[in-house]
Amino acid sequence: MADATPLAPAGPPADDILRTRDGVPLKTTLRRVTRRQRLIALGLVMPLLVFIVVTFLAPIGMMLLRAVDNPVLQTQIPRTVALLASDWDGQGPPDERIFATLAEEMIQQYKAREIARVGTRLNYEQSGLRSLITKTARTIARRGTPPWKETFVAIDDRWGDAKTWGIIRQASSRYTPSFFLAAVDLRLDWRGDVVAQPEEKRIYGLMFGRTLWISALVTALCLALGFPLACLLASLPLRQSNLLMILVLLPFWTSLLVRTTAWIVLLQTEGVINDLLVWIGMLSDEGRIQMIYNQTGTIIAMTHILLPFMVLPIYSVMKTIPPTHMRAARSLGATPARAFREVYLPQTLPGVGAGAILVFILSVGYYITPALVGGRTGEMISNLIAYHMQKSLNWGLAAALGALLLAAVLVLYWLYNRLIGIDKMKFG
């Protein structure tokens, strides 16, 4: 062939896309080449990913759902709920038709032994309603006759009150904000307005406040104790610092329960510290100090247990600060105190931030220690959550409290990111 074609690529269109010699866009080729590596990488992280989704993300999602989920009345007394929503004006007791429907459904649930669930659910809104439901159901199931309106009111006056019906209507929506409202000491009244809980029932605000206060105090104490310790660890020669590090880590290797119990032995009124103080005459035998089963006990034990979480991040950051920085500052004319304040301290901040946020988040959700040594004044929000999970079985409220706790931690995390930057956080 005499008419030699120029040695140009076969037919790349005249655009700006980079292409390989055979005309395939460079990006496509690159993707094809790296696909294998990406698949292998994905395969390697898959077990962990599945584990996290199943054991962590899914439960959190379910918890958040449960905090607003409200299926009881809709499944137990569906027709009454529907009629209340459509045919009742909210003024005075509803008409006979609604009474009749409720009676029919109550008898049905009573025979199925399910009526207690309705009572329990309504009792969250207004205490006393459980016994009302149980009593009414039992009575009408045995000898109830129409007209139902009169029968109901005869059993209990409250059936004649629009408020009771309002509460039933209120509690019957499929999703409800009432758990969240209860978690911040608010509630919906029977008209659907948000009002404060009565004085004697406002405990969650107090408990959230106390939890935050104890956590902040524990964080501050850990910082006060842990910073000098980390300083010492970072400046000692390796042999000694390793030994000291083992002492710091030793609590990690002992059971949480053992450590907490050890504090009981030390701090109780007949315990080691009180005995010692009485023996050396600083206290009289009657004047023994109550240091456990109260807030003091919670704070002491939690500070001890969480201290390593403060020391380790600070230590790891301090380790990276060259000792020449302090020397340089001093050679430039700064006194040792000033060099520490202006050169050393600012460089430890990422570690201090990481340690503080770690300790604070851990203490906000702390459960075992307050439960064992907290007594009444040392209880924290997690103890209340456990109470609702295990004793009162009000899972909706427990979930709402948990969700608020989660939100608080996330806000904190966001704040930290804004102030210091999460990328600067160093845990070790």
Partner 1 sequence: MAETTDPFVRFQGIQKSYDGETLVVKDLWLDIAKGEFLTLLGPSGSGKTTCLMMLAGFETPTHGDIILDRTPINTVPPHRRGIGMVFQNYALFPHMSVAENVGYPLKVRGVGRADARDRVRRALDMVELGALGSRRPAQLSGGQQQRVALARALVFEPSLVLLDEPLGALDKTLREQMQYELKHIHETLGVTMVYVTHDQSEALTMSDRIAVFNDGVIQQLDQPSMLYEHPGNAFVAQFIGENNKLMGRVEDVAGDRCRVRADSGDLVEALAIRASGLGERTLMSLRPERVSVNPPPGSMPNVFDAEVLELIYLGDHLRSRMRVCGQTDFIVKVPNWAGHVHLRPGEHLTVGWHVEDCRALDA
- Footprint of partner 1 (CB under 8 A): 322, 324-325, 327-336, 338-339, 342-343, 346-347
Buried b (16+ CB within 10 A) or exposed e, 308-335: bbbbbbbbbbbeeeeeeebeebeeeebe
In this structure, what are the phi and psi dihedrals at residue 294, rounded to the nearest 5 degrees?
Answer: -150, -170
Q: Please say which residue, 111 or 338, places its beta carbon nearer to partner 1.
A: 338
CB of 189 to partner 1, least distance (A): 55
Q: Smallest distance from the beta carbon of 350 to partner 1, in angstroms?
A: 10
**Helix (H, G, I), strand (E, B), or coil: what is residue 126?**
coil
Cα–Cα distance measured from residue 272 to residue 274, given in angstroms and rounded to the nearest whole number: 6
Q: At its nearest, how many Å lie between partner 1 and the CB of residue 228?
A: 21
Residue 331 CB, shortest distance to partner 1, in Å, is: 4
Residue closer to partner 1 (CB basis): 11 or 333: 333
Residue 196 or 345: the one with the smaller Cβ distance to partner 1 is 345
φ and ψ at residue 127, rounded to 5 degrees: -65, 145
CA distance 125 to 189: 8
Q: Which is nearer to partner 1, 83 or 343 (CB)?
A: 343
Q: Do 80 and 164 contact (CB within 8 A), yes or no?
A: no
Q: Which is closer to partner 1, CB of 113 or CB of 418?
A: 418
Q: How far is the CB of 231 from partner 1 (least distance, A)?
A: 18
Nearest CA among 391, 370, 360 for reference residue 256 = 370
In contact, 140 and 102? CB cutoff 8 Å: no
Q: How far apart are CB 328 and partner 1 at their closest, in Å? A: 4
Q: Shortest distance, CB of residue 337 to partner 1, whole angstroms?
A: 10
Ordered DSSP codes for 222-290: HHHHHHHHHHHHHHS-HHHHHHHHHHHHHHHHS-HHHHHHHHHHHHSTTSHHHHHHHHTTSS-STT---
- Cβ neighbours of residue 76 under 8 Å, at least 6 residues apart? 105, 109, 114, 115, 117, 118
Shortest Å distance, C-beta 329 to partner 1 = 7
Least separation in angstroms between CB 355 and partner 1: 18
Least distance from C-beta 335 to partner 1, angstroms?
6
In the bound state with partner 1, the residue whose beta carbon lies nearer, of 280 and 332, is 332
Q: Which of 311, 315, 344 is nearest to 327 (CA)?
A: 344
Residue 145 or 324: which CB sits closer to partner 1?
324
Residue whose CB is less far from partner 1, 339 or 404: 339
CB of 323 to partner 1, least distance (A): 9
Q: Which is nearer to partner 1, 144 or 313 (CB)?
A: 313
> What type of residue is 286?
E
DSSP string, 365-390: T--HHHHHH-TTTT--HHHHHHHHHH
Which residues contact residue 353 at a Cβ distance below 8 angstroms, ignoring those fewer than 6 apart?
416, 419, 420, 424, 425
Between residues 240 and 290, which has the closer beta carbon with respect to partner 1?
A: 240
Closest listed residue to residue 370, CA positions, set 304, 294, 310: 294
Closest to partner 1 by CB, 328 or 410 = 328
